[in-house]
Structure 1
């Protein structure tokens, strides 16, 4: 079984929606980090104060096929309009070595693989 790390960087107000969607599709544990970023757009100001919105960084270790399925679903949540403007970014990368994953989660991944084949 091959694994991927799925990372989603989303505005805090979308955090719970992304978590719910990922869990509904089969994600087990999700690590949540708080972050802030610098975009290529100018920052919003209000009476001379600059507003930089907080972002959540969600990290998930998933079976490779499940990772792609969740990535597509999260991408749909982040796409806000017909022009495909996105409120965040989601990406995955292969995981070479893994230790410490819960055996019940491995069984869940195996069931998912059997269902999709």
Structure 2
């Protein structure tokens, strides 16, 4: 017994071709919109990351500038000048203690600096 192959009639064939032709632009439009969206998101993330790095760098630079200014101001203190110019003896402990306290700086500098990990952002 032979099995007859059933062919699509013209009406069904045209319907299938129209469906295929209508889905192709929709798929292309979807791919293009996805790529455009991903490109925009990538640019926004890059800009935000660059801004965050710049702000962190500025905060670190400001902190280091303040610390540098403090020590430049304190270098003219009598205790530090004495420490630089003389040999230290045990009998000079009180002056040495004062100089060490000046060199240690304010307590908030140490706690402020300990919260940072220094990175070189310029490389």
Flag the structure with higher helix content: 2
TM-score, with structure 1 as normaliser = 0.24
Structure with higher RCO (Cα < 8 A, 6+ apart): 1
TM-score w.r.t. the length of structure 2 is 0.23
Structure with a larger share of its residues in strand:
1
Structure number, greater radius of gyration? 2
